[in-house]
Amino acid sequence: MSSILVVIEQREARISRISWEALAAAQSLGAQLGLPVAATIPGAQTESLATELAGKALAKVIRVEHPLLSAYSPDGFTLALEQLVRTEQPSYVLFPHSYQVRDYTPALAARLDQVLIGDVTGIGEGPTFFRQLMQGRLNGTYRHTGGGPCFISVQSGAFRADTVQAGSAQIELLTPIIEAAQIRTRPGKPFRGSTQTVDLGSAQLIVSVGRGIKGAENLSVVEELAAALGAELAASRPICDNGWLPLERQVGSSGQTVSPKLYVAVGISGAIQHLVGIKGSQCVVAINKDPDAPIFEVADYGIVGDLFEVVPAITEAVKAAKQ
């Protein structure tokens, strides 16, 4: 039967937020194509989460349960979902675009001779799938042309979790066949990188710096603006990769998620991994020399220019305004 399957991910025994967004995407695609939507939750203990899912508008909820799925491993999850997809034969399989999904779904799709259309930001007529290219500087429109199921992962924040339709669904159980020896990697317990002393998540004003700053010796330019505003200093990934600022100041999918009243992005082009971390900002100011930088698409106020001239001028203006 033609159908849509959405794969739900659990994090610390809860359904992750981005999984609800994937479910919303699946329901919207289901409405567009007139197809039933089923949700599946893989893991070692899935009963309570499956019950939670059964309260949504779904044709059914499938618990894919096995003790070897208690800790995530790419081998375990690929095997389990391969068996589910071969049994259910859905036309579309939707995932949240999480780090975990990025780690195994390309292999799962390849095993079925398909390719994942990943990091999808929207779904159009056809259906077509939108995703970004060139670090967010281009949008691409994709169509699935393969003979097997169409694998899609949806980007964080692209669909709204609060649009998930309520309903009631029956719960099924599938016990995949997995041997311990088939799981070749041994995952360790997650740990925090460093003791977090900076809580960017609750900062009201943030000045954030990117590649455009060119070198650690230039950081005083943004430090002075942050000091004038009374703002926390943050950075995009390359700055922390280079060791110019500590990792705890990194904003984006691999760093902290922020929701300040004001986010000033200095010399940050706005790659998607950064933008997902600042979606909750009330007001975004972007300063960049490239007028086509994607950061300007999400900015409220933009200044195209040399940050080494613009930022000191803003610092002076802020100081003057505060006197």
Minimum CB separation from other proteins for residue 205, in Å? 8
Q: Which of residues 193-252 bind other proteins (CB under 8 A)?
A: 193, 196, 205, 211, 229, 237-238, 240-243, 247-248, 250
Mask for 120-139, x = binds other proteins (CB under 8 A): --------x--xxxxxxxxx
From the CB of 65, what's the least distance to other proteins, in Å?
Answer: 23
Measure the CA angle with vertex 239, ends 200 and 118; round to 5°: 80
Minimal distance, residue 89 CB to other proteins, in Å: 16
Q: How far is the CB of 67 from other proteins (least distance, A)?
A: 19
Tell me the C-alpha distance between 182 and 266, whole Å. Answer: 48
Task: For residue 89, give every residue at least 6 positions away whose Cβ sits within 8 Å of its Cβ, in sequence order, or none.
Answer: 1, 149
Query: Applying CB under 8 A, which of residues 54, 171, 219, 318 lies at the interface with other proteins?
Result: 318
Selected range binding other proteins among 25-33, 59-67, 159-167, 184-192, rule: CB under 8 A: 184-192
Helix or strand or coil: residue 105?
helix
Give yes or no for a contact between 132 and 139, defined as CB atoms under 8 angstroms apart. Answer: yes
Output phi, psi for 167, to 5 deg. Answer: 180, -155
In sequence order, which residues have a C-beta less than 8 Å from that of residue 5 and are 6 or more positions away?
26, 37, 38, 39, 40, 84, 85, 88, 90, 92, 93, 94
Q: Which residues contact 148 (CB under 8 A, 6 or more apart)?
A: 112, 113, 114
How many residues line the site for other proteins (CB under 8 A)? 99
206 near 234, Cβ under 8 Å?
A: yes
DSSP assigned state of 201? G
* Smallest distance, other proteins to C-beta of residue 228, A: 10
Structure tokens at 99: 């780090």
Under the binding rule (CB under 8 A), the answer on residue 88 touching other proteins is: no
Q: How far is CA 121 from CA 133, 196, 289, in A?
A: 11, 31, 26
With CB under 8 A as the contact rule, the residue among 13, 190, 197, 202 that binds other proteins is: 190
Q: Which CB, 36 or 238, lies closer to other proteins?
A: 238
- Using CB under 8 A, which residues numbered 295 to 314 contact other proteins? 296-305, 309-310, 313-314
Q: Which of 55, 67, 146, 280 binds other proteins (CB under 8 A)?
A: 146
**Interaction residues for other proteins, span 244-263 (CB under 8 A):** 247-248, 250, 253-257, 261-262
Residue 27 or 98 having the CB closest to other proteins? 98
Q: Please, which residue, 139 or 163, has the CB nearer to other proteins? A: 139
Identified binder of other proteins from the candidate list 2, 87, 141, 220, rule CB under 8 A: 141
